[in-house]
Structure formats: C-alpha cells, structure tokens
A and B are shown apart, each in its own frame.
Chain A
C-alpha cells in the first residue's frame, strides 16, 4: 500500500489523541458518573457532525509531548439541531485540563472562528486553572496574554457554559463571559480552588460556600441552573441556544405553534387574585400567555422578585421580564435590577422582543439598598431599557408605582403599553402615600386615613392611564396573548426586520 508507513503513524497518533489521559483516568471519571470530554461533545452535537480542530496539538514542553493529547482541551465544530457551533471541551484526564500556551492558542482559534462565522461558542468547563510549571516565573507568566481581545465580549455570538467539575482560572473567566450557565451540583466555580484559597488566606474554607452551585445560582446569580448530571447540563445549553439566533445579525429561529396554545390565556382571571392583599406566582402568568411548555426561566433562583425567562408567542421567541409578587410582594431590590439589566442586554443583543409583565409596589428602599448601590442599579436598568431597540411591550396588570412604573416600561419606555382593567398606577403605594403626603397614620385616625386614601387613589385606574394615552389600550387579561401576538406582527414590519442596534453589546457580563 502506498504511504503505508504514513498511514500507520497517522493512525497511531490519532489513537493516542483519542485515548485522552489513558484508560485508568477515564475509568475513574466514568465511576464518578461523569462523561469524558469527547462523550460530552457527542452529547452536544448532532450525530456525525463533529469536526475536530487541533487533535495533534500538545504541550510545548518536549518532555510532556506524550502525556498531553490535544493538550487537554478538545476543540472543534459541530451542529446543534442543524446549526453550526464551536466547542471547547476541557479534558480533565490530561493535566487536569490546565491552561497552557498551546491549548489557550486553540481556545483563541475557536473563539475567533466562531465570531468570524457567526456561530455560538460552547464551553464545557472543567479545569484546575493555569498549568504548573508552564506558567511559573517571568518567562511562564510573561508568555500569557498573547491575545489582546481574549476577554472582549461584544455579544456578536452567544457564549454558553457548562460547569462540570472544578472550574478555576480560564474556565472560570469564560463562564463569567457567558450568556447562560448550567452547573453540576458537585462542581466548583471560583477564581482559585478551595485548597489554594485556604493556603493564600490561611483560613479554613467551606468548598460549597466558596465555589458551590447554590452560591453561584442564589447569591451571585451567574449560574442559571444547578443539575445532577453532565447530560442535563449539556441539554440545557442546547435548549438555551434553541431560543437564540446564531449571531446578532439574524433573528431567533421560529418554532411550530403547539395545539391549544390560546387556552392558557383564558385562565388568567383565575390565576391573578382580585384582592390586592393576595399574591400569586407570576411564573404561572407567563406560562399562561406563552406557547405551552415554551417558558424557559433564566436565573430563577436569584433575585426572585424579578422573573426573567425566554418563551415563545405564536412560535416567535420573546423575553419575559416581570416582577413576581410571590417574592417580597414584587418589590424590586438591587439584585433584581441587576438581573433585569443583564436580561435586557441579552434580549437586545440577540434581537429578542421584550414583554414586561408588571405588578410591583415599587423599589425596596432603605439603608441596605443604598449600601448596595440601589440608585445606580435602578438607573442601569432604566438606561438598558431605554437603549433597547428591539420591540418592547408592557402590560400593567395590577400595581405599578413610582419610578418602578418607568423601569417596568411605563408610558413610552415600551413601544406599546397595555393595561389590564385591574391596573392601579400612582406615585407610590396609597397606604404609604397617605402618611407621606398628609402625615396621617391609619392607627391614629382610621376614618380620616380611609378618606385620604380614596383621594390618593383617585384617577389611578387603567382607564385614567388610557385617557391620557399613556396606555394604548385597556384589555381583558384573557386577551393578553392575542394582543401580544398581533403587536409582534406589527412591530416586525420595521425596516430592520427586527435586528436591533445592539447599543449594549459591549456592556459588562456581570453587574
């Protein structure tokens, strides 16, 4: 056979790369209930579509050549539901998938190619951080930083991350840059490992408190979902991407409309209590308005007074931003503002029309809020909303008071503001307003308090809002879905075909 020696050598080298860190390490990985780097790619991509890039890359240290197949990061292109994407899958069995000059070069190539060709970048993260001894000393550390755009994020393409084991250093940094993160409940995400951190600060560290999924999902708000398995994490990345365009100059893909899609909306009168003292779960309202099964919450365990989700109405992707009365009565706090801002930036960057559902008594005010920069966060959210150039619609369902009325799309801060006939709009909650304006407390003079409350509540109805043409329509709650569906059709007629101006593409990825 011609090229016989070449063929044999080529096959030997391929087998060496595909064997990753060796049978023993792979078996250990499997015994822990984890997929290996290549199995994760199989789970991610449509069967037979993976094209590996950099299979023969290896450490630049001669003595490590044989021990660093693919240099610990398996990269390439493949299709997810028929659409191209790029992947970096960290191989923990090779030098703990630590970052080296060669594999960082591979990552840079994937990022640049994904950007140039308008396709999502998928990061399957599991890495101990920078490789030792490669990065030791001035020569080691000074070799880093070869790519001056490595951490620039203009949101031209989606970045998604799964955190599937220890994720420190570069794996942590790219998770921070991502639009969506799913994390295994036994994984760790932090600047450095608990061990390194303990040594550095000479304190005993609880690994879960430092780097656990609940810290990330509930306190920090970077992780969208905590999951038990690699498969669940990877499937969530695919689900998130199913709502997004491949890049910022195209529209999100449309889906088929499920049968009976209009039925949920008809039950809205039963979901939302007429009694203002009663709360309800706004997530159920979003589910009733959107196509059945289409609501996909983001950051659902973080800052729960704000609810953010992707969903579909008549098959078209929308971003739902809502206050949720079930938590703190729907009063917005600094974390809710951060969550809302991040969501508005995501939707605007990827041409996703925004639907705002409003039932909020306002912003939570107090010393703690000021300490946590509440004013700046309120205005970040307001700026983001005003800079959004995708279609924006809001529905005032019950309460909407003060500045929160504006932050939630009041008057011209959305393209079309609708009001349910139950809407109640004013400068602040009337129960507080009586004391503020007239200095009368309910416990001191209940009769006078009620009279003044009636005075404050005068002219605060949905019809008053429509009477000055701030609300474009007063609607029956059961008509919400049909109204939004028609408004989406109207507002897709704009000459840009729905592609926004992306004024916030370069905003930070963490607020």
Chain B
C-alpha cells in the first residue's frame, strides 16, 4: 500500500483538526483547518485513501511545505 504525505501549503497555526486517523477520505476532503493571514484555510486530501496519521496538533505552528498528515492510498 502506497502512502502520500500531505503538506501545508502556507505558514500558519493548526486551528482545528477535522478528520481523524482511520477515516476514509475522498480527494479534496478537509483534513484540518489552519489559521493564516487571519483566515481559516483548509488542508485537503490530495488523493483518496485512508487517513493513516496526523503529524500535527491543534494550536501547533506549521511552516509552508511541512508534512501534516499521511494518507494510505
């Protein structure tokens, strides 16, 4: 089974975790929501699969390009 790392596209803070490990995701389902530039910006699944793990917690600061989750495809 292949894995796909999900990266944050923008620097900001994890505001809310929306999906939990083990959950089935369709492409473009929201995994978590970041706060950046005073806006709530979703991090979405780039591919369909199962959310294998979350690599960040709510409140955590995240940099652009940082891995935030892993999807098993």
* Chain A contact residues, CB within 8 Å of chain B: 218, 276-279, 325-329, 331, 361, 368, 429, 431
Contacts and interface: CB of A to CB of B under 8 A. Distances in A.
Given A329-B37, A331-B37, A361-B37, A279 B42 contact: yes
B9 A279 contact: no
Nearest to B38: A431
A218 B39 CA distance: 24
30 contacts: A218-B46, A276-B38, A276-B39, A277-B38, A277-B39, A277-B40, A278-B39, A278-B40, A279-B40, A279-B42, A325-B39, A326-B41, A326-B42, A326-B44, A327-B41, A328-B9, A328-B10, A329-B10, A329-B37, A329-B39, A329-B41, A331-B10, A331-B37, A361-B37, A361-B39, A368-B64, A429-B37, A429-B38, A431-B37, A431-B38
Interface string B6-38: 000110000000000000000000000000111
Contacts of A328: 9-10, 41
Contacts of A218: 46
B9 to A, nearest CB: 5
A447 B64 CA distance: 31
Contact of A279 (B39, B46, B64): B39
Nearest to B47: A214
Contacts of A276: 38-39
A278 B35 CA distance: 10
A279 B38 CA distance: 11
Given A277-B38, A328-B41, A329-B37, 7 more contacts: A276-B39, A278-B39, A279-B41, A327-B41, A329-B10, A331-B10, A431-B38
Interface in B31-65: 36-42, 44, 46, 64
Contacts of B64: 368
Enumerate the 4 nearest inter-chain pairs by beta-carbon distance, A residue then B residue, closest first: A329-B39, A328-B10, A431-B38, A329-B37
A425 B52 CA distance: 42
Nearest to B30: A326
B62 to A, nearest CB: 13
B18 to A, nearest CB: 14
Contacts of B36: 329
Interface of B: 9-10, 36-42, 44, 46, 64
A276 B9 CA distance: 20
Nearest to A431: B38
B61 to A, nearest CB: 15
Contacts of A368: 64
Contacts of B42: 279, 326
A328 B9 CA distance: 7
Contacts of A326: 41-42, 44
Contacts of B44: 326
Nearest to A432: B37
A277 B37 CA distance: 9
B44 to A, nearest CB: 8
Contacts of B41: 279, 326-329
Nearest to A327: B9
Contacts of A331: 10, 37
A152 B72 CA distance: 44
B38, B40, B64: residue with the most chain A Cβ atoms closer than 10 Å: B38
Interface centre among A278, A329, A429 (most CB of B within 10 A): A329
B33 to A, nearest CB: 9
Contacts of A329: 10, 36-37, 39, 41
Contacts of A277: 38-40
A428 to B, nearest CB: 11
A10 B63 CA distance: 69
B47 to A, nearest CB: 9
Nearest to A301: B46
A361 B12 CA distance: 15
Contacts of B9: 327-328
Contacts of B46: 218
A329 B44 CA distance: 13
Nearest to B35: A277
A325 B33 CA distance: 13
Nearest to A281: B28
A327 B40 CA distance: 10
Contacts of B38: 276-277, 429, 431
A368 B64 CA distance: 11
A221 B44 CA distance: 19
A354 to B, nearest CB: 26
Nearest to B15: A277
A258 to B, nearest CB: 25
Contacts of B37: 329, 331, 361, 429, 431
A477 B5 CA distance: 38
Contacts of A361: 37, 39
A315 to B, nearest CB: 30
B66 to A, nearest CB: 14
Nearest to B65: A368
Q: Give the one of B39, B40, B44, B64 with max A CB within 10 A.
A: B39
Nearest to B33: A279
Contacts of A278: 39-40
A19 B16 CA distance: 61
Nearest to B11: A366
A331 B64 CA distance: 14
A325 B39 CA distance: 9
A218 B41 CA distance: 20
